[in-house]
Structure 1
């Protein structure tokens, strides 16, 4: 019997690519999104169920999981992919948007995971793949809130992995960096443009934008399809490995964070990403 994966956030980006990747390999796929009417290309595929799941709506989570089990009999893998990123200076960001950043990127993951755990425990098996970010390993200017949500997701995932191993469930974390074929950058730009401007930060923001432009110019971005390959590998490799760095562009920053001293890491990061401000 084909195995079944439930993936959140399949309207675009990593989620959409992962849904196609699993389906291409004969899996049953539950491709969930807030607006399932936009998932026509996935819905047209055999073995793919497109259904509504909004991670901020607990009732939709329960309904989607029940619908998936009714359609395919069981779920073998959960991919927590749904997320978005706030971009901008912390002080300029309204509290309501901060709350939503955590509601989607962290509490949504927790709610979907909690809802599926009874099903996984009943089978004494299951794999949970949480899509994190390089920004969950190292922090960059202008994404303090996004980074905070992903740092929290990393800690949650690691701690949860110890708990769930006792009942036969494996937790994985996939860490992508800069990717060309996703709307993340567009959405972040919209978020930054809607923030209340505090003029004192203008020199810093200009410097930070120059830093990001330099980082983008100097790297070879991966695609969502390549990240989907890593998600699939994490879900199916049969190991207890926790973390998977999904794109080569962030490997130097990850190594600096994980393989050097704190002083060396901070010196490396300040030289590389700290904005150059006018004297």
Structure 2
């Protein structure tokens, strides 16, 4: 029987790569994005349905998911939509902070809540929530971004134990750096003169030279597919060489030691 995956933020990057991969594996793909009328690739593929969805619009989330579950038996929900808000805390406005939380955290919570009755009724289903390397470790200029990704991780772990009684799983995919245009397309940067040196130093990690060393987005999509199909009870999937190295460091040396190492890197 053909399976169905629902994806948020499918217009670019990991969302699009995942949509294409699941399509190639014979899945029915429901790919959502803010502006589906601008899509020029996924709309050409059979068994991919494009829908308009802005995860900051609570009413639209409810309406869209009610319509989808009326027509499809969804097996997997990929909460992928999100963006990076980078900058020292003092450089960020309340509006920027709220928008980051509403997109990266509340979007995941609202989509998950709207799909939960569907999964509970069918006594099966899987939520795959995209976090980040900065969802298990902090880094300068990423305080609010990390706050949302740490929160999604905690939300996912709690929801997993809440829904297990209904045969529903929750898993987290935590990518490191990816070879996408995320740094240009999906990143908002705050500036403050007191943190100019720090911001410049951290920004080196988003240079073209550094991006070339990161994991290909197609490889991360493969890990998403693995998480969706491996049948394991595993909660977290760390995706990418840099992410795995940092995660192993955190496990082996402990969080406190890793924090001190990072602080030492940025003590000017």
Structure 1-normalised TM-score? 0.89
Matched, 1:253 2:246: yes
In structure 2, do the counterparts of structure 1 residues 246 and 109 end up closer, same or farther at CA, with 3 Å as the change threshold?
same
Aligned to 1:108: 107
The alpha-carbon deviation at position 213 of structure 1 amounts to 6.4
2:266 is aligned, of 245, 253, 275, to: 275
Aligned to 2:220: 227
- State whether residues 69 and 118 of structure 2, in contact with CA within 8 Å, keep that contact through their aligned partners in structure 1: no
In structure 2, do the counterparts of structure 1 residues 106 and 218 end up closer, same or farther at CA, with 3 Å as the change threshold?
closer
- State whether residues 61 and 111 of structure 2, in contact with CA within 8 Å, keep that contact through their aligned partners in structure 1: yes
- Residue 55 of structure 1 aligns to a residue whose secondary structure is coil
Aligned to 2:121: 122
Moved over 6 A (4+): 213-216
The alpha-carbon deviation at position 255 of structure 1 amounts to 1.1
Q: Which aligned pairs between 1:1-279 and structure 2 lie closer than 5 A?
A: 1-71=1-71, 73-180=72-179, 182-187=180-185, 191-192=188-189, 195=190, 197-210=191-204, 212=205, 217=210, 220-271=213-264, 274-277=265-268
Structure 2-normalised TM-score? 0.93
Question: CA-atom RMSD, angstroms?
Answer: 2.0
In structure 2, do the counterparts of structure 1 residues 74 and 97 end up closer, same or farther at CA, with 3 Å as the change threshold?
same
Counterpart-to-counterpart distance in 2, 1:12 and 1:54 = 14
| Count of equivalent residues | 268
Q: Which shows bigger deviation, 2-11 or 248-257?
A: 248-257
The alpha-carbon deviation at position 5 of structure 1 amounts to 0.4
Counterpart-to-counterpart distance in 2, 1:164 and 1:113 = 11
In structure 2, do the counterparts of structure 1 residues 87 and 248 end up closer, same or farther at CA, with 3 Å as the change threshold?
same
- Residue 50 of structure 1 aligns to a residue whose secondary structure is strand
Deviations 1:3-60 (A, max 9, x none): 1000000010010000011000000000000111122311221111000111111222
- State whether residues 135 and 150 of structure 2, in contact with CA within 8 Å, keep that contact through their aligned partners in structure 1: yes
Deviations 1:167-203 (A, max 9, x none): 11000000101111x22111466x22xx3x4322223
The alpha-carbon deviation at position 68 of structure 1 amounts to 2.6
In structure 2, do the counterparts of structure 1 residues 188 and 12 end up closer, same or farther at CA, with 3 Å as the change threshold?
closer
- State whether residues 87 and 188 of structure 1, in contact with CA within 8 Å, keep that contact through their aligned partners in structure 2: no
Deviations 1:64-113 (A, max 9, x none): 22333344x31010000000010111111000110010101100100000
- State whether residues 178 and 215 of structure 2, in contact with CA within 8 Å, keep that contact through their aligned partners in structure 1: yes
Deviations 1:229-270 (A, max 9, x none): 111111111111000011112222111222323443234333
Gaps of 5+ in 1: none
Structure with higher strand content: 2
Counterpart-to-counterpart distance in 2, 1:213 and 1:126 = 36
- Residue 86 of structure 1 aligns to a residue whose secondary structure is strand
Counterpart-to-counterpart distance in 2, 1:213 and 1:42 = 28
The alpha-carbon deviation at position 63 of structure 1 amounts to 2.9
Gaps of 5+ in 2: none
